[in-house]
Every structure is written in structure tokens, then in C-alpha cells.
A and B are shown apart, each in its own frame.
Chain A
Amino acid sequence: MNEEKEVSEEEQPLVLQKLQDKFADALLASAEIRQGVAVVVNKENIYALLEYLKTDLAYSFLVDVTAVDNSKLESELIQYDYARFMVVYHLYTYEGETSRIRVKVPVHEKDLKIPSVTQLWKGANWLERETYDMFGIEFEGHPNLSRILTPDDFEGHPLRKDYPLRGRGERESFNFEKQNV
């Protein structure tokens, strides 16, 4: 996502051109990556952009949804207005040359809500649950936004950078039933 990676308008892939035409103001950055393109889009337009990618540009396969806690990555924080989280979508198309596309959305800690894409991809259901579980991103419109990998009564979001590797949420702190010895 560095400045020097950006490409001149003539050479860039068709997909990127189309996205820039349609979402000119919403795109915060764009770059070419191996086997595809990467774009950063603001939160207001994420659903429209993903819907456009899926229905009009045949990116029918949602590869992955995850997030990154940028709180210790100074350069990203500065570039995106100190948004703590970056929700990352990976898409794939079975047609065309630009097979992969990575869409990133900055999310501020004070407003963790982001539209759910479960309407577009059924596979997004668990991915969004995991992202909620691990980072606390709240996907609006999700049918069942509950924890998936950690227990329901777990506290905190383990993949946040301020969550320690050891200490909180360890086995000892769960309420196990005591066995009669």
C-alpha cells in the first residue's frame, strides 16, 4: 500500500479501473499485488463495493474475511486516520486474469460496526463470527453474531494486540466443576 507501488492509469488492470470509476471517492488506496489488486475502501461503501465485485465482476468466491489490529503498526495508523482495525476481505474469480482481489476497510475503535456480507456469501457467516470473536468487530445484519472458537462466556478478544499471550483467559480462570476426590 505504499505510494511507490501505485501504478499509472494506463497499465492498471481493468478491475481496478472499473472500481475507480464507480467508487472514486470511496477508495482510499489501491495497488497491484501478485495475481491481482488490493484496494482500501471506506466503511460506508464496503457493502456496495463487495456486491458490485460479486454480481458485476464475477468475484463469486469469498476466500477469507479477517482483521488486523494496527495499533502497533504506526505507518498504517497514520495513513488511515488512526483507525485501529483493518477488516480484510479476500475474493477470487474463476474468470478473468485478475484472479484475486483484496479489499481492506479501516474501522475505528469507537465505532466497530461494519455491514455483514452474509447476504452475499453464505460462507461469510463463520468468517465474520471468527473476526468478531478474535477482534470484536461487530457485523451488522449478521444472523448469529456469537463467539465461535472461544467459549461463549469468554471475555476479551484474543487477537487484539493488547491481549496478552499469557495471563488472561487461561484455563485456570474458567469455572470448572470441582471433582470430589
Chain B
Amino acid sequence: MQGGMERTTGEKMVLNFGPQHPATHGTLRIVLELDGETVLKATPHAGYLHTGFEKLGEHLDYNQFIVVTDRMNYLSPLSNNFGYVLAVEQLLGIEVPERCQYIRVLMAELSRLADHLLWLGTAALDLGAFSVFLYSFREREKLYSIFEKTTGARLTTSYTRVGGVFRDLYDGFDNDARDFITNFPKALKETHTLLTRNRIWMDRTKGVGAISSDDAINYGLTGPCLRATGVAHDIRKAEPYSSYEKFDFDVPVGTNGDAYDRYLVRMEEMIQSCGIIRQALDNLPDGPFSLEDNKVMMPHKSDAYGHIEGLIHHFKIVMDGHGVQPPKGEDYCATESPNGELGFYIVSDGSGTGYRIRIRPPSFFHFQALPHMLEGGMVSDTVAVLGSLNVIAGELDR
């Protein structure tokens, strides 16, 4: 971060960065006040992708809202599905079978890999490392075919249901997933050789966009961005949910809280995720993949078509005012999504629709802290810092 305020000459230039700039990955906008190439002031603007998810939550029933959660962090829709149904299940006071918990962990970790891979590819692309982009998308594609086979969709997965997941893993999932985690560390090594000791990459990211751990907590940063500052906080460890306490994994931390450390933390997290996936595959319990309580879960199709009981249950769950109805109350449930703490605060009035569904998106806080990391730096660092934060407009604006 050479060149500080002392070089100010009085001539200011205002640069509108986004919302259509390719490095903003969507609809982010930053207004930069520049003196030469030095950023004097940065003002991020949110809201270009505001779609009223929270308002929709008050009009859709609990299972319908899962579809909306797909569109929040569109790099890892499975994590959003997971976090949301966990919150509803906690309101209902139910716990899903162990196999289901493992399936959800598997999916959450695979989507963490997919999210970090896309982040890696685009962050590197922003700084001119085109081959990294191709390498990471090659790997990501393999993950997306696993998602497609499991859930039927690449992006709009809507895999989870309140009380379970909508179908079991396919035959051959074990093979595909094992195949991936065996080959993936090798592929990641290629990226390491391309970037980690690369002079240009280090110059562009080391010491750029640094934030101290106190400031990071004060700004509400979570996930890899917080861990890069040296705070070893991971909700999977601190408040284990969905059997995470049974898994053995490390929480990688950085020291400087700069773009380079965020890169290293995410790279190591991917390796840790592979370990979690391997453990989950090894220990995947048998048994039902969903709650077998027809007051919560939809009965199997053959039941709905073949038995009057099943038909009644199907009808009851689908009809407004008969399906999933948590008791009056409220709950806040946080999960460790790839970007950080993804929280759902749900207030229930006892009906089939949430009274208030508040989503606490990690990107909102990261984008807010952007001026702190940019001001005093160079204009070209804006791209590096923004890339390192992985701000997703879908969950930022909701």
C-alpha cells in the first residue's frame, strides 16, 4: 500500500466502479474517490439485486421457501437449503436421522468446495491468472455433475426438506465423491504451484486489503475472512450442528488478514473439506434418509398413489394450513456457510407460514467493511480486495 494521503494534490476524481463492471461479479457498485491512483474514499452501494426474499418468506410456507434459499448464495445453494431447514427443524424441535445428517454434511462440504473453487477461479481471473480459472472450473464442473445427479439440478438444487432431504444419494455417489476427493488435492496442487509462490500474485495480494482481528470482529466479518485475521472461529466447531462434532478437521487461520491470507485460508479449507467428505463417506450410516414422520415429511410417491393413508398425508402436507406448523416462538440458527455465518432468525405464529424470516447473510458484512480495506490503497487493489472477499450479490441484497 504505497502512496498515502500525504501525496494528495487536491484534484479528486470520482470513479463509478460497477454495477456493470466485470470484476464486480454481479451487481455490486462502489463509488471511489481517487487522487491519482490512490483511493481516498470508497462507498459501497448495495441493493441492486434486492428481490424481497424476507417478504416472500412471510407469504410462502416453510417448504416452499427452500426454493427461495437456492437463489441467495448462488455459488453454494445446498448450504443455504441446509441452514434454512435446520432453523425450521429447531423451531419444530425435531432432529433428522443420522444418515440424513451425514448426507447434509456431505452436500454442505461439497458445496463449500464448489464455492471456494469458483471464488478461486474468479479472484485469480480478476488479477489476470487465466489458467487458474480454467483449472478451478474444470474441478467445479465435476462437483456440479455430482449435484445434478443427486438433486436433479445444478443450481436450483432445493435438495433439503423440513425433516430430511427429498431423496437418497444415488447409487454410485460413493464412487463419484471418492473419485473427486482423491484427485482434487492433486488438482489443487497445480493451483498452488501457479499462485502461492508466484511473484505477481504475492505482490498483488500480500498486505492488500488487510484488516486486524479486532476490526474484523467489530465489522462482523465471519468465515474465511475472519479466520484470515487469526481468529480461529468456526461454527462447525464452536456450536456443532448436524453431527459435525463427530468429524475430525482443522480450522485454518491466517495472521495478517490480507487478501493473500484469505486465499491461503480458503485453499486449506478445501483440503479440510475433502477430509470431512472422506470421513462422512466412510461412516455414512444406514437407515432412513429422512424423518419417517408423515406429519412433517411428504410420504413416498408410491405411498401417495397406492394407499389412502399416504394420499391423506400428502394432501395434508401440501395444503395451506395443514403442513409443517412450528409452535409459536422464535429461533436463531447459524450455520457455517462457505462465506461465513449464515443465520436464519425465524419467528413463528403457529401457522404454516413464517411470521418473520430474517436472513443474516455473511456477504452483507464483508461488503460493508470494504471501505476499511480499500481506503489508502491503490485503485487496482480494489479488484484484488473485492475478489478476495467473495461478496455474492444474491445474499447481499436478498
Closest to A73 in B: B349
Cβ of B46 and Cβ of A123 under 8 Å apart? no
Cβ of B332 and Cβ of A90 under 8 Å apart? yes
Interface window among A10-18, A21-29, A45-53, A144-152: A144-152
The count of residues in chain B whose C-beta lies closer than 8 Å to any C-beta of chain A is 39
Residues of chain B contacted by A159 (CB below 8 angstroms) = 54-55, 356
CB contact list, A85-111 vs B, under 8 A: 88, 90, 94, 99-100, 102
Q: How far is the CA of A63 from the CA of B398 in the complex (A)?
A: 17
Q: Does B220 contact A (CB under 8 A)?
A: yes
Residues of chain B contacted by A8 (CB below 8 angstroms) = none
Cβ of B46 and Cβ of A149 under 8 Å apart? yes
Q: How far is the CA of A75 from the CA of B330 in the complex (A)?
A: 13
Tell me how far the C-beta of B236 lies from the nearest C-beta in chain A, rounded to whole angstroms.
14
Interface window among B157-165, B274-282, B339-347: B339-347
Tell me how far the C-beta of B354 lies from the nearest C-beta in chain A, rounded to whole angstroms.
11
Tell me how far the C-beta of B92 lies from the nearest C-beta in chain A, rounded to whole angstroms.
13
Cβ of A75 and Cβ of B328 under 8 Å apart? yes
Q: How far is the CA of A163 from the CA of B328 in the complex (A)?
A: 23
Kindly identify which residue among A90, A122, A125, A148 contacts B345, using a CB–CB cutoff of 8 Å: A90
Residues of chain A contacted by B365 (CB below 8 angstroms) = 123, 126
Q: How far is the CA of A32 from the CA of B331 in the complex (A)?
A: 12
Counting residue pairs across A and B whose Cβ atoms lie within 8 Å, the total is 89
Residues of chain A contacted by B233 (CB below 8 angstroms) = 94
Q: Does B308 contact A (CB under 8 A)?
A: no
Q: How far is the CA of A134 from the CA of B341 in the complex (A)?
A: 22
Closest to A126 in B: B368
Residues of chain B contacted by A121 (CB below 8 angstroms) = 218-220
Give 1 or 0 for each of A23-65: 1 = CB within 8 Å of chain B CB: 0000000000111000000000000000000000000111110
Give 1 or 0 for each of A147-166: 1 = CB within 8 Å of chain B CB: 11111000000110001010
Given contacts A99-B238, A102-B332, A158-B55, 15 further A-B contacts (CB under 8 A): A63-B220, A63-B343, A68-B347, A75-B328, A94-B217, A121-B218, A122-B368, A122-B369, A123-B369, A126-B365, A130-B364, A149-B50, A159-B356, A163-B55, A165-B59
Query: Which of A's residues lie within 8 Å of B, judged by CB?
Result: 33-35, 60-64, 66, 68-69, 72-73, 75, 88, 90, 94, 99-100, 102, 121-123, 125-127, 130, 134, 147-151, 158-159, 163, 165
